[in-house]
Amino acid sequence: MKYAREYRDPELCRNLADRIKETCQKEMRIMEVCGTHTVSIFRHGIRSLLPEHLSLISGPGCPVCVTDQKDLDAFMELANRKDVITATFGDLMRVPGSDSSLQGKKASGSDIRVVYSTMGALDIARANPSKQVVFLGIGFETTAPTVSASVLAAKEEGLENYSVYCAHKLVPPALEALVNTPGIRIDGFLLPGHVSVVIGENGYREFFDRYGLPSVIAGFEPVDIMTALLKLTEMITTQTPALKNAYTRAVSENGNTEARRVMETVFKPCDAVWRGLGEIKDGGLSFRPTFADFNACEKFEINVSETVLPKGCACGDILTGRISPPECRLYGRVCTPLNPVGPCMVSSEGACAAYYKYKGPEMEKRGHK
């Protein structure tokens, strides 16, 4: 705990807060892209330390939340198949599809199993050779390498009853989509720590060189976040944008090259639909032809006709910073953690779930603050 305490030092946080107040002399809107940042900001009361005119906006950094409704409905269709065991991480279980959730399907008799790693899904495939096991692959550059590793292991073992539904997303193309979306104003990005461990500082270089928007990679402890916010407010105030790494103890310039090698062996970039942002060029991953035998979309005939978005749910606007969760008319009324209408209230990294947990169901007067 010695090193954790150093990054949770109250006095240091207060000093950083004072410096941010001195630096931030005009209205600023900074987006924390990562859902874990959103939760950490609430947990440590960071918003209460910031000046009134500095707004933190929650972005599309929750993998469950940005998953397209059509993919969610495809998950439900796979779960309906009697010859399929569906393996998934737990945060997908309660996300509503058009007519049900995986939790609802499981209650109705579908064989759906929560695993804690992709290797757990492989264990299920080994133990059930007469069944097809499909792992539901969602998430960003952080989880895609582990899913790729499971495919490589299955290929090496000759596990023909294992496949993956790949709905993985790539973060840098989403940043570009955010900047180019009308009605969204972002003065700087608090870049995600976990993704950055894999893609490194250089993973954002092309985006920064193109748009020149202040961007800082941050860790998840209070001092990490406050330090990154200070750097951002300084750059915005002095109009000297830069791409900076404030998480050097975990993030290197080039990231985890081995993780990326494994990911790129199995997957390649493809256009992908993000909730709230629509189709993003090269915003996702798809299987390379060499690994088509492990592509659930090719192995099974999946027919998703018409998808139905949750009526009245504003998850798309929340994920893009257009509104804050309390501005959704369902928040805290119809939509609660016990009765979630949209994915942003389901996942532990969802902005609505974080707001509700730390602020409660009441409407917030200061919007994005």
pLDDT tens digits along 219-261? 999 999 999 999 999 999 999 999 999 999 999 999 999 999 9
83 and 224 within one domain: no
156 and 98 within one domain: yes
pLDDT at residue 367 in the model: 43
203 and 139 within one domain: no
111 and 237 within one domain: no
Any domain includes 332: no
> pLDDT band for position 366 (50/70/90)?
very low
Q: Does the reported pTM lie above 0.85?
A: yes
164 and 260 within one domain: yes
pLDDT at residue 2 in the model: 58
158 and 86 within one domain: yes
Residue 29 has pLDDT above 70, yes or no: yes
pLDDT in tens, 48-86: 999 999 999 999 999 999 999 999 999 999 999 999 999
46 and 84 within one domain: no
Residue type, 244: K
Q: Give percent of the chain above pLDDT 70.
A: 97
Q: How many domains does the chain have?
A: 2
Indicate which CATH number applies to the domain containing 41: 3.40.50.11750
216 and 111 within one domain: no
pLDDT at residue 231 in the model: 98
Any domain includes 359: no
Any domain includes 50: yes
111 and 47 within one domain: no
Residue 3 has pLDDT above 80, yes or no: no
Of 217, 245, 273, which residue sits at a domain end? Answer: 245
Any domain includes 200: yes
Any domain includes 149: yes
261 and 140 within one domain: yes
> pLDDT band for position 284 (50/70/90)?
very high
Indicate which CATH number applies to the domain containing 68: 3.40.50.11740
pLDDT in tens, 138-165: 999 999 999 999 999 999 999 999 999 9
pLDDT at residue 365 in the model: 43
Any domain includes 40: yes
148 and 105 within one domain: yes
Residue 328 has pLDDT above 70, yes or no: yes
Any domain includes 368: no
Residue 170 has pLDDT above 90, yes or no: yes
Residue 16 has pLDDT above 80, yes or no: yes
Residue 360 has pLDDT above 70, yes or no: yes
Q: What is the mean pLDDT of the chain?
A: 94
> pLDDT band for position 361 (50/70/90)?
confident
220 and 150 within one domain: no
Range of the domain at 31: 2-62+179-245
Any domain includes 17: yes
Least trusted range by pLDDT, from 207-211, 305-309, 353-357: 305-309
